Amino acid sequence: MTDAAEEPRLTSLAHGGGCGCKIAPGVLRDMLAFTPQAAPFADLLVGTETSDDAAVWRLNDDQALIATTDFFMPVVDDPFHFGQIAATNALSDVYAMGGTPIFALAIVGMPVNVLSPRTIGRVLQGGAAACTAAGIPVAGGHSIDSVEPIYGLAVMGLVHPDRVLTNRGARPGDVLVLTKPLGVGVLSAAFRQDRLDGDGYRALKETTTRLNSFGAKLAGRPGVHALTDVTGFGLLGHALEMARGAGATVEIGAAPPTLPGVRDLLEAGVRTGASTRNWASYGTEVDLPDGLEPWRRDLLTDPQTSGGLLIAVAGAELDGLAAFARVNGTGFDVVGRVVEGPPRVRVVP
């Protein structure tokens, strides 16, 4: 049995971490092309059609079940923090459909000959703590002995069938707002390279363990037309999914809100491989302004682990949504808008 004092860093056991582990969107599309199309089911309200955050199944006239799963390899070395971050990220998919989680199942893959039971137990405790904060139990799960450490959740939630929010309802005239600043991928890359200071680590932990529970309060909210969370494909990738779903052009500002220290790290050359893979996957569907600094493009494609909610809201309802968010302890920044045009993303100065 391994002694916890002799264990390697969690991040050293994985080839990637957090949502930066996700398969690049272009590769994922190629893989899914081989998947047979599911037969039509009248009660399947949301499936795989638009790469939404979760599946939704109508149970009755008043309830629909939201089901999702999300897991990844360590983004930090502290096992409790790893569990918290992974669970918070998984819960976000239910909130991003306008739903409320009801219970979760743990997904655990650990190198049991390398990590001690105590360390693995701390990962599970961190995940359970995030679920407790969300008001739900971890009601079971499944574990395997794996080469790299993996942790996450399958989460079930509920929403009214008529109030499901998806990534495809945006319309021209909508404003796009984001509830968390960008740069998680950059900070996690700096952490792996031992280039992240204490303030940077605290910013990384704070943003990735903050629940997106505000999403559950947006179901039925006037003027809220579309909702998704920004995770592994970066702001541009998830904005592109929204543009495709709307059949319209999404404009994204070139200077979105960022976490402290991110710009300095980007200008010093710190970035993730996933950022490059993201751009290679969807860059042909994104228009950049002339003279855009390379670090800004890398920020816009930076994979966000447990990122914020991207909300499409009618322009006339923006002030009302801002006031509603403040009452609920949530802030956001305007990052773009939806305009008439082909389903593309346009970065604007």
Residues identified as active-site: 19
**Six-digit token pair at 291?**
């003279």
| H-helix segments, 116-231 | 117-134, 184-192, 198-208
Give burial (CB, 10 Å; 0-12/13-18/19+) of 82: buried
Collapsed DSSP state (helix, strand, coil) of residue 114: coil
Phi and psi (nearest 5°) for 84?
-60, -50
Q: Are strands 138-145 and 286-287 parallel, antiparallel or unpaired?
A: unpaired
DSSP string, 235-276: HHHHHHHHHHHHTSEEEEESS--B-TTHHHHHHTT---HHHH
Over the Cα atoms of the chain, what is R_g?
19
DSSP 194: T
CA dihedral 80, 81, 85, 90 (to 10 degrees): 0
> How would DSSP label each residue in 229-241?
E--TTHHHHHHHH
Nearest Cα to Cα of residue 66 among 174, 166, 214: 166
